[in-house]
Amino acid sequence: MPPEDSLELFPAASAPDFDPRAPLADRMRPRVLDEVVGQRHLVGPGGPLRALAEAGELPSLVLWGPPGCGKTTLARLLATGAELHLEALSAVMAGVKEIRASVAQARRQRAAGRRTALLLDEIHRLNRAQQDALLPHVEEGIVTLIGATTENPSFEVNAPLLSRCRVYTLERLDEDCLAALVERAAADSERGLGGVALAEEVPAAIAHAADGDARRALGLLEAASALQRATGEGALSLDTLQEAAGRRMLVHDRDREEHYNVVSAFIKSLRASDPDAALYWGARLLEAGDDPLFVCRRMAIFAAEDIGNAAPQALSLALTTWQAVERLGLPEGRIPIGQAITYLACAPKSNAAYLAIDAARAAVQEHGSLPVPLHLRNAPTGLMKRMGYGAGYEYPHDAEDRFVARANLPEELGAMAFYHPTDAGAEASLAERLRDWRARREQGK
């Protein structure tokens, strides 16, 4: 239950202030700031928007955030808290005529001693002429503008108008917040579903499928609940939820066990040179909502760790795929991802470079900071040269076959070898050359 001071600040009407036939997402709109899900940085204790509302001094502002994060709801609560008359327009439908009509209403309210908040949803959809028509009324204080947008206002709102507004960024709702909202709506007997029982995994599944959008989460809950009633089911199950959604709800969480199980299956299928399985597990990650750039990062690591010099172009392809997906996004980004998965799975495998760097690190940790051999040291001054820095260094490019048979490791390590190339792919020729070089160094030739 919200604290009493919040209820005084945002009084609820004595009669229901919603249409019981309205969609669940509309019925569950917060009536007080304490019912707002998420956005604690703005409306939590000490948050700037809470402070403005409590002070009753609301400046013109722009609320910027992803779909379904509560921008419009928060705008309405702020206007109510500041005791402003509210004029609400959608920039998708409104033009200069509608803006002027709202401004005219604001002037009448002003004459009666009441200020007006003009809520412009999707403000980025207003063209330059429409924004210019609004500017003087904001400057005069005829209206307090509250813009809501999913797009970066720096690019989509005219500079003169934006300069007269404070911009507040709303965050994507995380899955814990959405799961709590689903449970609240299921249990609410006044505006919600009146005590619908949910199977244990359902709130988290809905939250994951909603992808940060509260409206989507409540819509899915409402559809699944209607199907549950039609079938006479007890607790709302994951199967019913999947049927209501029209697709399977993948049992997968981006930061819990099943996520890591699928990632493990993806990497191990690549390592097993099984492109079909790797494609399946990669598709599972994408379809479950994982960030495609996470998949690209894993492939870049795999290219270096499990392929290495057996197919040195694998790392270049993985990095190029990463860049392509950054630029393309989904769904098109799935195409270069598919190309990279199939190439990496079918490429020759070697973890020799991965083992080599770890072996070298182990030697560093065991032996500490061994001195650099004199012939490898830099000698920028005469004193250093007299001390023997750089003495005896032979420039390999001047050698007959561009090879100098001299040891370059610290003496304490002797002929220690870290890199052991395999006979896979391009690494086989490296192995052959390296055997010859190491033999010549041992002989000092």
Which domains does the chain show, CATH number per domain? Answer: 39-169 (3.40.50.300), 175-245 (1.10.8.60), 257-346 (1.20.272.10), 372-443 (no CATH)
Cα-based distances in Å from 408 to 65, 166, 200, 355, 385? 57, 62, 63, 20, 19
Task: Please tell me the predicted confidence (pLDDT) of residue 301.
Answer: 96
- pLDDT classification of 348: cutoffs 50, 70, 90: very high
Query: Cβ neighbours of residue 160 under 8 Å, at least 6 residues apart?
Result: 135
Report the pLDDT averaged over residues 121-126: 86
Nearest to 18 by CA among 7, 10, 29: 29
- Dig out the tokens for 358 from the structure: 């770890």
Element (H, E) at 146: strand 144-149
CA–CA separation, 406 vs 437, rounded Å? 10
Q: Say which DSSP state 88 is in.
A: E
Contact of 212 with 289, CB cutoff 8 Å: no
Longest dimension (CA), the chain: 101
Q: Of 152 and 349, which is predicted with more confidence? A: 349
Cα-based angle 78, 81, 85 (whole degrees, multiple of 5) = 80
Q: Of 57 and 329, which is predicted with more confidence? A: 329
pLDDT digits (tens, 9 = 90+) for 140-155: 888 999 989 888 888 7
Task: Please tell me the predicted confidence (pLDDT) of residue 249.
Answer: 52
Task: Please tell me the predicted confidence (pLDDT) of residue 279.
Answer: 94
pTM exceeds 0.75 = no
CA–CA separation, 180 vs 191, rounded Å? 16
Query: 365-392 in b/e burial notation, b at 16+ Cβ within 10 A?
Result: eeeeeeeeeebeeebeeeeeeeeebeee
Q: Residue for token digits 């509309």?
A: 26
User: Where on the phi/psi map is residue 153: left (φ > 0), alpha (ψ -120 to 50), or beta?
Assistant: alpha
CA–CA separation, 77 vs 61, rounded Å? 14
CA–CA separation, 107 vs 116, rounded Å? 8
For residue 201, give the amino acid letter: E
Nearest to 169 by CA among 147, 191, 187: 147
Contact of 118 with 89, CB cutoff 8 Å: yes
Q: Is the pLDDT of residue 219 over 80?
A: yes
CA–CA separation, 125 vs 156, rounded Å? 8
In the chain, % helix, strand, coil (3-state, to 5) comes to 55, 5, 40
CA–CA separation, 149 vs 125, rounded Å? 9
* Burial of residue 123 (number of CB atoms within 10 Å: 0-12, 13-18, 19+): buried
pLDDT digits (tens, 9 = 90+) for 275-303: 999 999 999 888 877 889 999 999 999 99
User: Where on the phi/psi map is residue 11: left (φ > 0), alpha (ψ -120 to 50), or beta?
Assistant: beta
- pLDDT classification of 344: cutoffs 50, 70, 90: very high
Mean pLDDT, the chain, whole residue set:
85
Residue 134: how many other CB atoms lie within 10 Å = 25
CA–CA separation, 267 vs 432, rounded Å? 30
Q: Say which DSSP state 250 is in.
A: -
pLDDT digits (tens, 9 = 90+) for 355-409: 999 999 999 998 888 888 888 888 888 888 888 888 888 888 988 888 888 888 8
Q: Is the pLDDT of residue 14 over 60?
A: no
Report the pLDDT averaged over residues 193-204: 87
Task: Please tell me the predicted confidence (pLDDT) of residue 256.
Answer: 52
The backbone torsions φ and ψ at residue 381, rounded to the nearest 5 degrees and listed phi first, read -125, 160
